[in-house]
Amino acid sequence: MIRTYKCKQMRKHEELEAKDNTSTVTEFVLIGFSDLPNLQGFLFAVFSVLYIIILIGNFFIIIIISMEQALQKPMYFFLANFSSLEICYVSVTIPRILFNIGTQNRSISLMSCAIQMSFFLVFGTTESLLLAVMSYDRYVAICHPLLYPLVMNPSKCTQLAVGSWLGGILVQIGQTWQIFSMHFCNSNKINHFFCDIPPILKLACGDTSVHELSVYVVVMVVDALPFILVLTSYSKIIVTILRLPTATGRAKAFSTCSSHLLVVLLFYGSATITYLRPKSMHSPGTDKLLSLFYTIVTPMFNPLIYSLRNKEVISALRKLLF
């Protein structure tokens, strides 16, 4: 009994000592790409060019859709929303990357880190929901064309778009608050190029299993569930397309949907692998590579995929330019 009591006392003393040794972190250091010192100028140029391409490409889509009467359809209404979202989405991460590389000042305050993560998660959730809405739009257009004007009326489209934009705000702000309410140990170095969940959790003290579980639940709701809805919609779309009597009709339908499906696979695939992997399987190099896909590659390819594979958009672009 005496030995057990002494063990308990020692354990309590060790816990208190650990708490005392835990420094209060007031700022983090984003390691980013500092392990490539000879490529800093090259990386700054690459990210600058990518950011300009993303902004110009998505702004062009918004302008074309707003000015061309022939594009005043639900599909293009959602595409304009998607392009607006991509501009917001990349503006959360790339300017910070450029600032860190350009100034070589990689520190970021606790509050700034929390704000960046919060906006990033909210916009990521919005993109996930909006992709699901766009797949539903294509499902109704192809599988139920006669009901399409009735189902996808302007009021319904506005409600779906607003719901997508607002859908993740409370959940993701709550998740950000939960993560940043944890204590962080002596290390304040984030081995990433922005404040994302996996590298932040690595810096937390003690057991983070509850927080990891909450991340899995949120990802299942706002990422995996919409992905399942997208796959369900496209499985029905493919079945309907294969039943079309003419090869021309099948080719047109496939062309319309394949671009959307490509964006979906790029975004959901990389994001799901990043957030649903166990903490023990995370490595800085893999996390950075996967993050580049859903933070930069997808927004860059969005305007290229939708414009180059869509005759109506190309026609409107020619009309606008010439």
Q: What is the pLDDT of residue 21?
A: 42
pLDDT band of residue 153 (cuts 50, 70, 90) is very high
Which of 38-42, 80-84, 254-258, 310-314 bottoms out in mean pLDDT, i.e. has the lowest? Answer: 254-258
Q: Which residues contact 104 (CB under 8 A, 6 or more apart)?
A: 40
pLDDT at 32: 81
What are the tens digits of pLDDT across the range 256-269? 667 667 777 777 87
pLDDT tens by residue, 97-143: 999 998 888 899 989 999 999 999 999 899 889 989 988 998 998 88
Mean pLDDT of 28-41: 84
pLDDT digits (tens, 9 = 90+) for 179-203: 888 888 767 888 888 898 888 888 8
Give the whole-angstrom CA distance, residue 188 versus residue 202. Answer: 10
Q: How far apart are CA 60 and CA 40, in angstroms?
A: 30
CATH code of the region 27-321: 1.20.1070.10
Alpha-carbon torsion, ordered 126, 130, 131, 135, to 10 deg:
160
Report the alpha-carbon distance of residue 218 to residue 179 in Å, rounded.
13
Q: How far apart are CA 293 and CA 286, in angstroms?
A: 11
In the prediction, which pLDDT does 19 show?
A: 44
Cβ neighbour number for residue 152 with a 10 Å cutoff: 21
- Confidence check: pLDDT of 12 > 70: no
CB contact at 8 A, 48 and 94: no
Domain boundary assignment for the chain:
27-321
**Torsion, CA 230, CA 234, CA 86, CA 42, rounded to 10:** 110
**Residue-level pLDDT at 50:** 92
The pLDDT of residue 5: 42
CB 64 within 8 A of CB 317: yes
Note whether 79 and 57 are within 8 A (CB).
Answer: no
Per-residue confidence (pLDDT) for residue 282, from 0 to 100? 62
Residues linked to residue 108 through DSSP beta bridges, in sequence order: 28
Given a cut of 80, whether residue 155 has pLDDT beyond it is: yes
pLDDT for residue 255? 66
84 band by pLDDT with thresholds 50, 70 and 90: very high
Q: Compute the mean pLDDT over every residue in the chain, rounded to the nearest whole number.
A: 81
pLDDT over 50 (residue 26): yes
Under 8 Å between Cβ of 38 and 101: no
Provide the pLDDT confidence category of residue 9 given band limits of 50, 70 and 90. very low
Q: Cβ-count burial of 210 within 10 angstroms (0-12 exposed, 13-18 middle, 19+ buried)?
A: exposed
